[in-house]
Amino acid sequence: MADTKVKIYASAIGRRKRSVASVRLIPGKGEVVVNGKPASVYFPGLQAQTRYETPFKLLSLTKYAAEVKVLGGGKSGQLDATVLGLARALSALKADHKIVLHTAHLLTRDSRERQRRMVGMGGKSRRKKQSPKR
């Protein structure tokens, strides 16, 4: 799918924790390609598969395929960023799509980030140093 003549219907960016996913919707049959691999290979497992197929299934769309480039973070954050990017790209196509995706809470960015390391806490953010007993 590295053809430069492919028509791009919509593009969007999804973020989660340290992950950033850039999504492009192109003509296709509902397949999702992540970093040059099929999404079923990049995100193995049935639970992950249902997550990234949810935006397409809610709208019952099969005429679009998605190319995703995802950077940073771990696999879970990358999956969440991909789902948000897919939902944003599909909502950019039609106003009706935006309503359906918003009611399914797919257009909401999860803003929780990693808590920073605190000084004097023994190297962790929430850990306290052990007090001496006597």
Does 7 have pLDDT greater than 90? Answer: no
Q: What is the pLDDT of residues 8-43, one digit of tens each?
A: 889 999 999 999 999 999 998 889 999 999 999 999
Contacts of 31 by beta carbon, 8 Å cutoff, 6+ apart? 38, 39, 65, 66
Name the pLDDT band for 4 (thresholds 50, 70, 90): low
**How far apart (Å, rounded) are the C-alpha atoms in residues 21 and 17?**
11
Q: What is the pLDDT of residues 62-97, one digit of tens each?
A: 889 999 999 999 999 999 999 999 999 999 998 899
Does 131 have pLDDT greater than 90? Answer: no
CA separation (Å) from 106 to 2, 46, 54, 109, 127?
28, 19, 9, 8, 34
Domains defined for the chain, CATH in brackets: 10-103 (3.30.230.10)
